[in-house]
Structures are given as C-alpha cells and as structure tokens.
Structure 1
Amino acid sequence: MLIGDVARLSGVSARMLRHYESLGLVRPTGRTDGGYREYSDEDIRRIFHIESLRSLGLSLREVGRALDDPGFTPSGLVEDLIRRTRERIASETELLARLRRIGAAEPARWEDVLQIVALLQALGSKNAGTRQRAALSSVEKVPGAVEALVEAVLNETDPSVAGALRWALAQGGDGAPALLAEGLGSSVAEVRKRAVRSLVEIPGGEATALLRGALTSPDVVVRGYAALELGARGVAEAIPTLIDMIAEETLDVDAADVLSALANDPASADRIATGLVDRLARSTAESSARLRLTQALADIPGAATSHALAELSQDEDRAVALTAAYILGIRGAR
C-alpha cells in the first residue's frame, strides 16, 4: 500500500508518516519499481499501535521504546502517565477557577483584569510573606478580591497569613459570609475550622445568622467557635453549647468566661444557672466534668445560682461539695 493510501486509511498525514520513518518508528517494508514507499499489513498495524500509544499521552520517544525494547514493562510508564495527567488536570482546573473568578468580577477594563490576575498570583505564591502582603493590600477593592480571599483563607496553613486573610475579609468583604458558609460544609475538618474562624471575625447580621446555624454542626470545633462568638455578641442561643463545652473540656475556660459575660442579663443568668445544674445532673459519672460545671457557677449571679450551690455543697462528691461551699462563702461575703 502506497503512502497516500496509508494516510487515508490511518488518518495520519503523509508528512507525519515520513516523520515517523525519520525517527525509525515505522519503515515501509518495500519500494515499488518506481521507488515509492510501499507499506505492508504489518507496517500499517504498527502505525495504528503508534497512534494508540500517542493517544495515551506518550511522547514519540516513549512510543518507540514501548514498541522496540523487549525488556520494557508498561506499569512504570503508565504510573508516570497517571501522575502527569493528574498534574495537568490540577493545572487546568486551577486555570478554570481563575478564569471564573475573573469573569465573576465583571471587569470593565483590562486594568481590572490585570489587578485580579496579580492578586491571584500573589495569593498562590509559595512565599508566605508575599501571600500576606497580598491579603493586606486586597482591601483596596480589587475586583473579585472577596472570592479569591475566601478560597485562599480556606486553604491557608500559615497562621500569620491566615490572620491577614481573615482581617481583610472582615474589612468589608461583601458576600464573604455566604462563601465561607460553603466551607462549613466541607468534608475536610481543617477547612471547616478555617471557615468558622473567618466567620467569627466578620461583623453583621449575615455572619451572626450563619453562626447560629453552625451551633447544630456535627463538628465540635465548628460548634465551639460559633458558640464563643455568638456568646460574645450577646446571643443567648449559644448557652447550651457553651455549657456542653465546659462539661466536655473543649475550650472550657473561654466558654466559662463568655457565660459570665452573658450572665450580666438577669434572664440569661437564670437560664445559665438552670442549664449548668441540668448538665451537672447528667454528668454524675464524670467527677472532673461536674467540678468544672460547679466552678462555672461562681460568676453567675442570681438566686437560682445560690440555691444550686447550696444543694451542691451537700453533694456526695467531696471535691464538688467543697467547691460549692467555697463559692457560696465568697458570694455571702460580697
């Protein structure tokens, strides 16, 4: 079969067939009387093999090795192809995300596009200082900055850079709470933690509403950060979670401090005292937990607290009884 016929059959151009020949990948078995290349069935079969291997992403050099080296084993090459393909997909995915962010910003001028690209490149730098400077400068209202900052903060591992990113979002990142809310539902625990830590630094009703929802999160860390911030904002809904945190020794000192501040409201004080007593009743087998809950009553004013302490001063657990009696004595001396 002549080269033109082979090209039509295989879909490989005559020029590429000559290139394969120059590389030694496939040589026509014979020549016609007129000196034209003549390909055998085996030659054509080899051409189809070359094209199949190229479709997997092999270079022509790798194709030649695969076809001609008797000791060649494909497993190592296939693993390398898998790795290279993953890297290419990751690169293309990153490019797609970058283009989407640029499009979402609806840039009106090329200068806006260049600003966004510069910010994205800086936030993606391997240098922590560069990332931190980018976060601090983004408050100058770079178009599309909020989306870029949220993505960056959810993936940032350096504490200083993460702090700068959270600060930048808190300065007026319109739309940031809704984007961070998606991070609260991540399957990755660290991403959920970064999302809630960013939310607690954003003022306003939208962030508060999302933190209220986070009180029911199955993630104890998310619940804890949400409760501490909501308590600091005077939201009484956080009280049950704060009490649980004391019992479970999860940021228990911080939780007790927030409860103390909430107790400045008489209605909240009674609710806190009742909640602590109820939790004490459910923690009979946990001496250390009951002791922490008793200690938390120290800064809760009101008759309900005094009554609870009087009962606890007769508790079977000596540590709890002594602590309650001590607190009662201090309250009586005031």
Structure 2
Amino acid sequence: MIEMKPLDIQTNDLAEELVGRYCRDLSKGTLKKYQANYLRLDGRDWQYYSIEHQLKQNTAQVYRAAWCFHHAYAIKRILERLRTETDIEHRHTLNLFLLAKVTELEDGRSLCYSPAVRRKKKSKRKSLHGKPGNWRECILGALAEPYKVYGIVTALTGCRPSELGKGASVTIINQELIIEILGAKVSDITEGGQPFRRLTINQSLPLARELLAIMESQETRELYVKTSSYSSWYRAFKRAAKSLGWGDLSPYSYRHQLSADLKALGQNNAFLSKVLGHRSSRSRSNYGQFLQGRSKGGSGPITEVYAPLEVRIYDSQFLDETPSTGPSLG
C-alpha cells in the first residue's frame, strides 16, 4: 500500500469537503444552466467575467456557482483516479493536479464582486411610515371573506404571497399554535431560501386569537390555508387598504412589518432570517426597519422557529445596528 504524505492527506480532506459542497445532487435544469454559463466564461474566472460584462450581483452569483461546480467536478474526477491508481509516479502527478485544482477553487470562491452601479430597490417597507400600530387589525376588519384568513396567516408569519399560493398548514400541537410554510425563492444555484419553515405563534396576539377562533368555529385543530388566486387576494387587500386611506400598502407590507417587529425586539440574525425563509443574514436588511417595529417588549410574535438549513451569518450581531446594503458574493 502506498503511504500518503501529510500534505497529501490534508489536501485530500479539503478536496472531499469541496466536492461534497459543490457536487451534491442537482436538478437537470441547474446542471444545464451551469454548463451554459461555464461555456460563456471561456476559461475566465467568474469575477473577471462579471466585471467585464458589468453583471448584476445576482447574475454574477449564478456564474460563480457554475465556476465552482466545474472546478469541484474536476476535483471529483481526480479523487476517483487516486482511489484506483497504484503507480507511485502517477499518484504523485495526480496529487499535484489535485493540489493545483483545490488551490484554484479555494482562491476563486473567495473572490468578491460588487456591481459598479447598484440598483435602487423599490421597497414596500416605506409604506409602513405613518401607519398606526394596529394597521394590520384595521385591514383585517375591512377584508371580506374568505380573505380574512389569508390576511391573518400572512400577518402572523410574514410569508410571501407566492408561499401562501403553495399553502400554509396551521395546527395546534401540545397547546401550541404552529404554522408551517413551504419556501419560495429556493435555489441550488444561489444556495438561497429555506425549503420550509415551522413557526410557533404567540397566542396572546389579537390576530392569533382570531385564527384560533376560526379553527374553533370549524371544530378543527388543523387548517390548510391556500390562496386560489394571488390576483384576487391582492385586489381584495388593496380594496380594504384604500377604504382606510392606505393605498400604498400591499400584502407584502405584512412581511416588512413582522421583520420590523422582530428587529425592535432585538432578535438575532439567524432567528429573523429563518422566520423570513432566508439562508443569508444579509437578506433580512431589505425588510422592515427597527424604528418601524410595533413590538418593543414581551415575548414577541414568534416564540420559536425551525428551518432545516443553516443560516449564513455575515453581518453585525444586533439587528438594531445599521443594516447591510444587500447581498454580497464574498
């Protein structure tokens, strides 16, 4: 048996880690997109290509993912050769190739990119300015059936309209009110989004009591809430909001308000990111602001959250500090 040097073992372990990260099971659509993007790179690294073509940040991230996958796949092929190769000279050559590829991937994936001109996002969080603390309850009172329950679930969870289109499961388990949401914007390419999240709701909230009353009236401990049409839900919400003189509000305003409430309570980045269905702590900076929070004390609207994927923490520890300006590829 051929003995490996300590450097070879260290390189091998890192190589296995990189292959596990970037060569996991991917859909055919993702692999096809990786292949097309890598061909466009034409031998250039993803950062150089992004700068040359002044790509938007999210587009650059897709090229980064394609570049990393291609290099990790090359590492995977070298590792497969090493498992069967017995010739000492050939193993030595393969180890040199492996070290070069691992170094190249490590260097390339650590590169950062920011567009020369940042796009200014149109954020619905501005719509919260000047609204009373009970605007959500006011909207609920103005909503017609069956849209009231849509408003309640969206306000309690901050779910996206597209997620409510997939359906939310509301259950009472061990006297706790649990709402489970299937995630949207889940992508292998950008490594973004939680596939699902499970929120434990504070039952003392007025809207939580409204939801419990609906379940009690239906004599059920399980409720499935799903919009049949986003456009009809959106129009119903806008009618209710305009009747109150708040035409700038939309269903997405619920998401911003919940985020602002959690920031005002000082919830940590990982908690808030999971509540919103994110995998990056940077994303939460786009939702709500500390000063817009209606909850400055107590246990908060969400007492517990579970999401299966770890949140990548990049920025400050406390949510009342200046938020980051947006996602980064660092």
What interval of TM-score do these two structures reach, taking the shorter chain for normalisation?
under 0.3
TM-score (norm 1): 0.20
Higher-Rg member (1/2):
1
TM-score (norm 2): 0.20
More strand, by proportion: 2
Higher relative contact order (CA 8 A, sep 6+): 2
